[in-house]
Amino acid sequence: MNEQTRETLHSSKKLDYETPQALFDKLDREFAFDLDAAASKDNAKCEKYFTKENDALKYPWCALGAIWLNPPYGRNIGLWIEKAYQESQRQPYPIVCLIPARTDTRCWWRWCMKADEIRFIKGRVTFVGCEHPAPFPSAIIVFRQTARRTPKVSTYSI
């Protein structure tokens, strides 16, 4: 991959794209989320949420219930995925993440492959307020305290 292609696929003018409501609702029916770990006042999907100002990376998430995470899609996304995995090991509730399916990255192999489930989304996600779908494939990663040795892998229709 040349540098121009890499810059296009890994850059964005905005990092906090809102999850499509239909996708969230489908997952919420399954997991009954209690907390949105990376939100703003305008795009929070749960009554309880962390914002940029009260940085979720600095605080424990355990005992807060089932957690939804659509992290900022910048260069620090690995910190969010690592935090989700680590917090999942401290609580009995699932942590469900919507992330780019970048299976060629160190972060994917270090953290995502520790998930209980990996659900590759068929097609591309169109985030709220965006005219076009994302320029990358996405996946739903489900972290649980009692994860399988090898993640359950499936496809997921939205």
Q: Locate 112 and state its tokens.
A: 């995502």
User: Domains, the chain, ranges and CATH?
Assistant: 3-156 (3.40.50.150)
Q: Rounded CA gap, 82 and 146, in Å?
A: 16
DSSP state of 153: E
pLDDT of residue 3: 54
CA distance 23 to 158: 6
Percent of residues, the chain, with pLDDT higher than 90: 73
Rounded to whole angstroms, how far apart are CA atoms 139 and 112? Answer: 10
And the tokens for 122?
Answer: 């068929």
pLDDT in tens, 39-78: 999 999 999 999 999 989 999 988 789 999 999 988 899 9
User: Can you tell me the mean pLDDT for 125-135?
Assistant: 93
